[in-house]
Structure 1
Amino acid sequence: MTEPEDIAARVWNSSVAEHWQGPEAREHLGTAVLEQYKLCVEMADRVSARRNLNNTFFLSLNSLVATGVVSAGGARADKAPMWLLIAGLVILLTQCAAWFTLIRSYRQLNTAKWAVIGAIEERLPLYAYSRGEWEILGKGSDRRKYVQLSQVEQWVPWIFAASYLCGGIAIAVR
Structure 2
Amino acid sequence: MAEISNSLWNDDITASHYREETAPYQAAVFEQYKLCVEMADRVSARRNLANTFFLTLNSGLVAFLGAWLSQPQRRGLSVLLLLAGLLVLLAICVAWWFTVRSYQQLNDGKWKVIGALEERLPTRAFSAAEWKALDEGQDWRVYLPLTHVERWVPLIFAGTYLLGFAALAL
- Residue type at the aligned position of 1:99: W
Encode CA deviations 1:37-78: one digit per residue, 9 max, x unaligned: 000000000000000000100000001111112222234675
Counterpart in the other structure of 2:47: 51
The aligned runs of 1:57-136 (5 Å cut-off) are 57-75=53-71, 78-136=75-133
| Distance apart, 1:132 and its partner CA | 0.8
Encode CA deviations 1:136-170: one digit per residue, 9 max, x unaligned: 10111221210000111100000000000001111
Q: Is the 8 A contact 2:4 2:113 kept in 1?
A: yes
| Distance apart, 1:80 and its partner CA | 2.9
The correspondence for 2:2, drawn from 5, 25, 28, is 5
Number of positions where the alignment pairs a residue of Structure 1 with one of Structure 2: 169
| Distance apart, 1:34 and its partner CA | 0.6
Counterpart in the other structure of 1:16: 13
Counterpart in the other structure of 2:136: 139
- Residue type at the aligned position of 2:37: V
Calculate percent identity across the aligned residue pairs.
49
| Distance in 1 between residues matched to 2:18 and 2:4, nearest whole Å | 25
| Distance in 2 between residues matched to 1:108 and 1:30, nearest whole Å | 29
- Residue type at the aligned position of 1:31: A
Give the TM-score, by structure 2 length: 0.93
Unaligned ranges ≥5, structure 1: none
Query: CA, structure 1 residues 63+21, in 2 after alignment: closer, same or farther (shift >3 Å)?
Result: closer
| Distance in 2 between residues matched to 1:44 and 1:58, nearest whole Å | 21
Query: CA, structure 1 residues 66+127, in 2 after alignment: closer, same or farther (shift >3 Å)?
Result: same
| Distance in 2 between residues matched to 1:70 and 1:22, nearest whole Å | 67
Please, which moves more after superposition, 53-62 or 80-89?
Answer: 80-89
Counterpart in the other structure of 1:34: 30
Q: Is the 8 A contact 1:78 1:171 kept in 2?
A: no
Give the TM-score, by structure 1 length: 0.91
| Distance apart, 1:84 and its partner CA | 3.0
| Distance apart, 1:86 and its partner CA | 1.6
Please, which moves more after superposition, 131-140 or 98-107?
Answer: 131-140
Query: CA, structure 1 residues 79+14, in 2 after alignment: closer, same or farther (shift >3 Å)?
Result: same
| Distance in 1 between residues matched to 2:93 and 2:34, nearest whole Å | 34
Q: Is the 8 A contact 1:140 1:148 kept in 2?
A: yes
The Cα RMSD (Å) is: 1.7
